[in-house]
A and B are shown apart, each in its own frame.
Chain A
Amino acid sequence: MKRDRMPYIPPAERATPDLDSGKYLLMWQGPQHPGITGNMSLRLVIEGDTVVDCETHVGYLHRGFEKLMERRSWMQNFPLVCRIAVPEPDFNEYCYAAALEELSGIQIPEKAVWLRTFSLELMRLASYLMWIGGQAGSFGHGTIIQWSATMRDYVLDLFEELTGGRIYHMYIIPGGVRGDVPAGYFKHVLEVMDTVQKNLDDIELVMYHNAVFKLRAEGLGYIPPDWIDRYGITGPNARAAGIKRDLRKDLGYLAYPQLEFQPVVGSKSDAFERARLRLQEMYQCIDLIRQCIDLMPKEGPFRAKTPNPLYWKVPAGETYVAAECTRGEYGFYVVSDGSEKPRRVAVRGPSYTHAVSVMERLVRGVNIADVAGLMVSLHTYPPEIER
Chain B
Amino acid sequence: MNELAERLARRYDAEGWHEQRKDLASISIPALRVRDVLAWLRDEEGYKHLSFITAIDNIERGVFTLTYTVRNHDTKHSLMVHADIIRENPVVDSVHLLWEQAWTYQRELKEWFGIDCPGSPRKDEEFVLEGWDQLPMMRRDFDSLAYSNATYAERPGRVTHDPAAYMKAQLYPEADQ
Give the interface of A toward B (CB within 8 A).
58-59, 62, 64, 66-68, 70-71, 73, 76, 102, 227, 229-232, 234, 245, 250-251, 310-311, 317-320, 322, 329, 331, 333, 335, 343-344, 346, 348, 352-353, 356-358, 361, 386
Taking CB atoms, residues of chain B closer than 8 Å to A102 are: 20-21
Taking a contact as CB atoms under 8 Å apart, the answer to whether B51 and A232 are in contact is yes
A-B contact pairs, 25 of them (CB 8 A): A58-B128, A59-B126, A59-B128, A67-B138, A102-B20, A231-B100, A232-B51, A232-B101, A250-B76, A311-B164, A318-B26, A318-B80, A320-B69, A329-B51, A331-B51, A335-B56, A343-B56, A344-B56, A346-B52, A346-B67, A348-B52, A352-B105, A357-B100, A357-B101, A357-B104
Closest CB in chain B relative to A383 CB, distance in Å: 11
Taking CB atoms, residues of chain B closer than 8 Å to A357 are: 100-101, 103-104
B-side interface size class: 35 or more
Taking CB atoms, residues of chain A closer than 8 Å to B130 are: 59
Give the interface of B toward A (CB within 8 A).
20-21, 23-24, 26, 48-52, 54, 56-57, 67, 69, 73, 76, 78, 80, 99-101, 103-105, 126-130, 137-138, 140, 142, 144-145, 163-164, 167
Chain B residue with Cβ nearest A66 = B138
Taking CB atoms, residues of chain B closer than 8 Å to A64 are: 137, 144
Closest CB in chain A relative to B152 CB, distance in Å: 13
Chain B residue with Cβ nearest A102 = B21
Taking a contact as CB atoms under 8 Å apart, the answer to whether B73 and A250 are in contact is yes
Taking a contact as CB atoms under 8 Å apart, the answer to whether B129 and A59 are in contact is yes
Taking CB atoms, residues of chain A closer than 8 Å to B137 are: 64, 67
Chain B residue with Cβ nearest A247 = B76
Taking CB atoms, residues of chain A closer than 8 Å to B129 are: 59, 62
Closest CB in chain B relative to A244 CB, distance in Å: 10
Picked from B67, B127, B142, the residue with its CB within 8 Å of the CB of A333 is: B67
* Contact (A320, B127) CB under 8 Å given A230-B100, A250-B76, A357-B104: no
How distant is the Cα of A229 from the Cα of B24 in the complex, in angstroms? 19
Taking a contact as CB atoms under 8 Å apart, the answer to whether A58 and B101 are in contact is no
